[in-house]
Amino acid sequence: QVELEEYGGDSVQAGGSLRLGCQGFGMVFSRYSMGWFRQTPGKEREGVASIRTNAGLTQYADSVKGRFTISRDDAKNTLYLEMNSLKPEDTGMYYCAAGLGDWWLLERPSYINYWGQGTQVPVSS
């Protein structure tokens, strides 16, 4: 049974930094494209960043380019999201996602096979 477990969410002030992690269980992690999505109440879930099975290929939403960095450690079955210069509009529940194969998950969310339960990131002004 595949499970994705996020961690690292915490309250942070605007301008601060935070590092999220997502560990995969019951899966051959290296075979999955991975992504981070976020959602706030009343809004649709939006893609934040994705990374393909070829770890050198990453993609970001325009709103986080230059501030967030997605990375993966396949040996540890773990996905990361380094978030810097956080803004109040970055507030949300952050979800980890996995799609089997080599895809841009931000462009192809229908290819996502598994979601994590989410980790909360409140950013105060």
Tens-place pLDDT, residues 41-59:
889 999 999 999 976 799 9
Closest by Cα among 26, 34, 32, 124 to 79: 34
What average pLDDT does range 71-90 have in this prediction?
A: 97
In the chain the beta strands, taken as DSSP E runs, fall at 3-7, 12-13, 18-25, 32-39, 46-51, 58-60, 68-73, 78-83, 92-100, 114-115, 119-121, 123-124
| Mean predicted lDDT score pLDDT of the chain | 96
pLDDT for the residue 55: 63
31 secondary structure, DSSP code? G
